[in-house]
Amino acid sequence: MPALNLLSSRPIDPSVDHEIQAIVAGDAAGSTCSPDLAATPWTFDHAPGYGPGASMGDVIPTGSPLQGDLPAAYREAPEHELHARIAAAKATLGDRVVILGHFYQRDEVVRHADYVGDSFQLAKAAQALPAAEAIVFCGVHFMAETADLLSTPEQAVILPNLAAGCSMADMADIDQVEECWEQLEELYGPLDVADENGLVPVVPVTYMNSSAAIKGFVGRNGGIVCTSSNARTVLEWAFARGRRVLFFPDQHLGRNTAKAMGVPLERMPMWNPHRPLGGATAAELGDARVILWHGFCSVHRRFTTDQIERARAEHPGVRVIVHPECPMPVVDAADEAGSTDVIRRAIEEATEPTTFAIGTEINLVQRLAAQHPQHRIFCLDPVVCPCSTMYRIHPGYLAWVLEELVAGRVVNRITVPSDVADPARVALDRMLACVPQAPARRG
């Protein structure tokens, strides 16, 4: 199993923080990022929003968890002290704790992670670590829920900042999905009855970036979870069982994947949960192969074909790789599209010095650039704007949850109730049969 090799101690230049300071100072013309990026993380935790960054403008559901005040000892500690305290707590806890870090997490947090990967890889890592009493998940809420689903009941999954949600996941609310399902049943007839070919009218498929409640819905209704690594395999699984697929929450991953499989665009109507029949006609839904939920990632939505044209004009021979959460025209204009792990491996496997323009979250792009100085690697979006939800995890929160563990207290535990967890595991188990690569422990 190859190591993910993303934990370089080499300083990143220019760093995300450097570029953020440029934005705050007004040097980054055209930025739509908030000057609040300069604020301390605990400042914007009190406000009803996701914090500064690309997804800060998205609506968050009422009742979403807010992080309470951190003690002053964490809020006021200088960064070097926080790092020392995190390292000391980790040393004290030893194998009792494991820290998982998502690719999009800031470097100051990733440097402490035992495993770094995408959401699927980290879910697998959580499943493979039954000895750890606590799994500290430096990612967002749905990822911690998934880790709870896949870990043992004795293990505590901890999200260092409860306000680290995901705006895309929030775009498919369980009540909206249930309502959609009822409308589809009225249209198609009983959804659990197969036709003469053994196919049910519709199979629900949810992207990993969804709540446990949505995964539970999918599990109860004959469906499956997918990731950006295995979306095509999962859709093949679903088409072997149903005449059509209801895909949520990310319309772009659904559209890009189905299009690559030969599904015509006119057979992919959109479902807007705020409109009757999702805003589609009965005829469109009758003819549909993939019904796309009206969701998106605010980070990946920022990438445009103009940025690709500019990259090609300014860097002849540039290799453009984008994430499949980007809009379809961007994916079509790129040289390649793939999950974060596909992007990482493409760069690692390039034998000649190459210029890469990458369409994904800036923390990962900057880290790859620092680790591969033989290549020129830059973000397609010239104005940095990180995922605001990931950005909410700060070393101060990590130090806090670890020192609480040392003191024998579990804070910020994420627990999925069993009535949701059981069917959600069914959907995840189906997905885990569609296996991409799992991460290896850092040497």
Helix, strand or coil, per DSSP, at residue 57:
coil
- Residue 225 bridge partners (DSSP): 206
Assess 390 for contact with ligand SF4 (CB under 6 A). Answer: yes
Assess 19 for contact with ligand SF4 (CB under 6 A). Answer: no
Assess 134 for contact with ligand SF4 (CB under 6 A). Answer: no
- Whether the bond between 249 and the residue before it is cis, its omega within 30 degrees of 0, is yes
Query: Of 280, 297, 334, 337, which lies in the binding site for ligand SF4, with binding defined by CB under 6 A?
Result: 297
User: Minimum Å distance from CB 210 to ligand SF4?
Assistant: 10
Phi and psi (nearest 5°) for 27?
A: -90, -10
Query: Of 121, 227, 389, 412, which lies in the binding site for ligand SF4, with binding defined by CB under 6 A?
Result: 389
CB 60 within 8 A of CB 91: no
Residue number with CB closer to ligand SF4 (77 or 140): 140
Residue number with CB closer to ligand SF4 (221 or 363): 363
CB 376 within 8 A of CB 34: no
User: Minimum Å distance from CB 142 to ligand SF4?
Assistant: 8
User: Minimum Å distance from CB 378 to ligand SF4?
Assistant: 18
Contact pattern from residue 301 through residue 330 relative to ligand SF4, giving x for each residue in contact according to CB under 6 A and a dash for the rest:
------------------------------
Query: Of 42, 44, 74, 104, which lies in the binding site for ligand SF4, with binding defined by CB under 6 A?
Result: 104
Residue number with CB closer to ligand SF4 (140 or 172): 140
How far, in Å, are 21, 311, 319 from residue 27 at the CA level?
9, 21, 28
198 CB neighbour count, 10 Å cutoff: 9
User: Minimum Å distance from CB 246 to ligand SF4?
Assistant: 19
Assess 298 for contact with ligand SF4 (CB under 6 A). Answer: yes
CB 399 within 8 A of CB 97: no
413 CB neighbour count, 10 Å cutoff: 14
Assess 107 for contact with ligand SF4 (CB under 6 A). Answer: no
Query: Of 45, 108, 118, 361, which lies in the binding site for ligand SF4, with binding defined by CB under 6 A?
Result: 361
CB 215 within 8 A of CB 123: no
Helix, strand or coil, per DSSP, at residue 358:
strand
Residue number with CB closer to ligand SF4 (426 or 428): 428
Binding segment for ligand SF4 (CB under 6 A), chosen from 216-224, 282-290, 291-299, 417-425, is: 291-299
DSSP state of 25: T
Assess 387 for contact with ligand SF4 (CB under 6 A). Answer: yes
256 CB neighbour count, 10 Å cutoff: 25
- Kindly tell me the burial class for residue 375, based on how many C-beta atoms sit within 10 Å of its own C-beta (0-12, 13-18, 19 or more): middle
Q: How many residues bind ligand SF4 (CB under 6 A)?
A: 14
Assess 366 for contact with ligand SF4 (CB under 6 A). Answer: no
Residue number with CB closer to ligand SF4 (288 or 414): 414
- Kindly tell me the burial class for residue 325, based on how many C-beta atoms sit within 10 Å of its own C-beta (0-12, 13-18, 19 or more): buried
Q: What are the structure tokens assigned to 257, written together?
A: 């994947």
| Helix residue ranges, H only, 261-377 | 282-287, 305-314, 328-333, 340-349, 362-371
Assess 171 for contact with ligand SF4 (CB under 6 A). Answer: no
Query: Of 82, 140, 171, 384, which lies in the binding site for ligand SF4, with binding defined by CB under 6 A?
Result: 140
- Whether the bond between 14 and the residue before it is cis, its omega within 30 degrees of 0, is yes
Q: Site residues for ligand SF4, window 192-231 (CB under 6 A)?
A: 209
28 CB neighbour count, 10 Å cutoff: 17
Nearest Cα neighbor of 214 from 289, 94, 295, 282 is 295
Binding segment for ligand SF4 (CB under 6 A), chosen from 107-115, 163-171, 229-237, 311-319, is: 163-171
Residue number with CB closer to ligand SF4 (105 or 412): 105
User: Minimum Å distance from CB 139 to ligand SF4?
Assistant: 8
- Distance, in Å, from the CA atom of 97 to the CA atom of 386, rounded to the nearest integer, reads 28
Non-local (6+) Cβ contacts of 338 within 8 A are 228, 229, 321, 323, 324, 346
Query: Of 166, 291, 380, 421, which lies in the binding site for ligand SF4, with binding defined by CB under 6 A?
Result: 166
Non-local (6+) Cβ contacts of 407 within 8 A are none
Binding segment for ligand SF4 (CB under 6 A), chosen from 1-9, 63-71, 266-274, 294-302, is: 294-302
Contact pattern from residue 45 through residue 64 relative to ligand SF4, giving x for each residue in contact according to CB under 6 A and a dash for the rest:
----------x---------
User: Minimum Å distance from CB 392 to ligand SF4?
Assistant: 10
- Give the interface with ligand SF4 as residue ranges (CB under 6 A): 55, 104, 140, 166-168, 209, 297-299, 361, 387, 389-390
